[in-house]
Amino acid sequence: MAERLHRKDLVPHSGIAVMLGKEPVAVFWLPGHDTELYAIGHTDPFSGSEVLAHGILCESQGIWSVASPLYKQHFRLDTGRCIEAPEVGVDVWAVRVEQDWVQIGNILIG
C-alpha cells in the first residue's frame, strides 16, 4: 500500500490502496464524472480482508459502488453503505487533490 499518493499515481476508473495513519483506505478516481474522487475504507467488513481498492467499480442509476472481490457485496462510494446489507458499511473520507498530492480528510498523503 502506498503511503504517498501523487495525482499521477491515480488510475482512471480504478482504485488504489493507501495508508491514512494506520487506517487502510481505498481511493477511487472516476475522471469526467460530477464527483471524480472517492475515499472509503479498504477493509471488507464481511471478510476482514483489505481488498476493496481491488474491487470492480459499478454504476447504477447514477450511484457508484465497488463490488468486493471476495464475496461481491457492493459498497456505495458516496456513503460507504453496503447495498445488499445497508446496516453494514465502511468509513468514508472527503478527498481532493491539493498541489498535485491527494488529500484525504485533513491529511495530505504526500
Write out pLDDT tens, residues 47-104. Answer: 999 999 999 999 998 899 999 999 999 999 999 999 999 999 999 999 998 889 998 8
Query: Using CA atoms, how far apart are residues 2 and 58, in angstroms rounded to an integer?
Result: 24
Q: Which domains does the chain have, with CATH numbers?
A: 7-109 (2.102.10.10)
Higher pLDDT, 2 or 83: 83
| Res 62: pLDDT | 87
Q: Is the pLDDT of residue 106 over 70?
A: no
Contacts of 55 (CB under 8 A, 6+ apart): 15, 26, 66, 67, 68, 69, 75
Signed CA dihedral, 83, 11, 50, 24: sign only: negative
Q: What is this structure's pTM?
A: 0.91
| Res 98: pLDDT | 86
